[in-house]
Amino acid sequence: MDRDREFGEFVDARALVMRRTAYLLCGDWHRAEDIVQQALIKMYVAWSRVRKDSVDAYARKVLVRTAIDETRRGFFQRERIVDTVPESAVVDTTTDLDLREALNALPAGQRAVVVLRYWEDLSITETARILGRTEGTVKSQAAKGLAALRDLLEDEPASRIHTSEVIRRGRTKLVRRRTAIAGALAFVLLAGFGTVGYLASPQKASSNQVSEAAPVLDQNARLTVILRNAGVVPPGVKAEDVPGAKALQFFERDGRRQAAALLVDAQGSSALTVLLYRDPGAKAPACLPEEGADCRIENVDGIEVRSSLSRREDGLLAHDVRAYRPDGTYVEIRSTNLGAFVPDVPGLSDWSSAPSRPAPVLGRDALIKIATLPGLTF
């Protein structure tokens, strides 16, 4: 296929540069690889719509947005999915490698030139134009900056981004998207034909017909009723609103249905977030050895449930329960001992804040009960 050939050539030429840029954004080589993999898969799906004369600019935009989305997922969601569970924990041999600190040690001019030339792979002319400097100055600062970083870059771990794997996963995602679109179009056509047939047929008037249809409860309202009637809030706990959303009331954001609340009692406040979206192919990732008893996978009323507990050195505790329903609905519930949400992002816990209580208000069992509620589907 021309798509696979062209895209494969792009990955071979740009994956390493994208990986280094991603590292500058996140500060971890393994997370950088995950970010690049996800960005390349998105690009494969959209490849036919990408202008080939601006593919590098498009790649940078997708990469940055993917990195931002990845950081919003929370520290305990960043997992590496592998075919087999490793026998021992993976040791990061690059923890002493802090490229960001090295770049910060460079003068501002050298740092800008190095990033544009060697991470964004821009030409000397393009770099000089962007920075408003002569090409001779760009060459001089690039040489000095590269010399200062060369020893550090020699310790960069080998890349594990494989073109064939990216194309395979991208092709799978593309097929799923096309299937979903075809199904939606078929439904619309069938519904249209049914409506036309109904309107074309003679209709018998009824004495009890009304001019306006009865109000229909939308899905967000239905889910809100289900969640609130489930007794989510324990006695003695108050559910408060969060920035941009009412407490335990579903709303839509980024293709997901979401509800959130700040649960408050005498010990402090605890953040709760409920996410629902469609992902028919999702499967529960295996528990890693280092998670130990904090992670378990079980079947609850025909629903595959993965639950885990994450801990941070500053005392942060986070329960994470994911339910994979047979109808393709993916339910994720997080309960933490944080007491703050990001002001400009509705329902997003502020992971930079300090713990506000000893433990989350809702524990593992309570979250599993919520995640498996009848009717709690996308």
User: What is the chain's pLDDT, residue by residue, as a tens digit (378 residues)?
Assistant: 578 888 888 888 888 888 888 877 777 777 888 889 889 998 988 888 888 778 888 888 888 888 777 655 544 444 444 444 444 444 444 433 456 667 767 777 787 788 777 767 778 887 787 777 888 888 888 888 877 776 555 556 777 788 888 888 888 888 887 787 777 677 666 666 655 555 555 554 443 333 333 334 589 999 999 999 988 999 999 999 998 889 999 998 878 899 999 999 999 999 999 999 888 888 888 888 878 889 999 999 999 999 999 888 888 899 999 999 999 999 999 999 988 888 777 778 887 788 999 999 999 999 999 999 999 998
Which CB contacts under 8 angstroms, 24+ apart, belong to 90-96? Answer: 92/28, 92/29, 92/30, 93/157, 94/29, 94/155, 94/156, 94/157
pLDDT given for residue 98 in this prediction? 57
Rg (CA), the chain: 25
Q: CB-hemisphere CA count at 13 Å for 319?
A: 23
CB atoms under 10 Å from CB of 358, counted, come to 10
Strand spans (E) along 72-173: none
pLDDT given for residue 155 in this prediction? 58
CB atoms under 10 Å from CB of 289, counted, come to 13
pLDDT given for residue 220 in this prediction? 92
Q: How far apart are CA 265 and CA 185, in angstroms?
A: 49
Q: How far apart are CA 324 and CA 278, in angstroms?
A: 10
pLDDT given for residue 78 in this prediction? 46
Exposed (0-12), middle (13-18) or buried (19+): which is 348, by Cβ within 10 Å?
buried
pLDDT given for residue 111 in this prediction? 78
pLDDT given for residue 288 in this prediction? 81
| Ramachandran angles phi, psi of 68, nearest 5° | -65, -45
Tokens of 285: 């990732």
Task: Name residues whose C-beta falls within 8 Å of residue 301's C-beta, 6 or more positions apart in sequence.
Answer: 372
Exposed (0-12), middle (13-18) or buried (19+): which is 301, by Cβ within 10 Å?
exposed
Q: How far apart are CA 270 and CA 51, in angstroms?
A: 47
pLDDT given for residue 201 in this prediction? 55
pLDDT given for residue 1 in this prediction? 57
Global confidence as pTM: 0.47
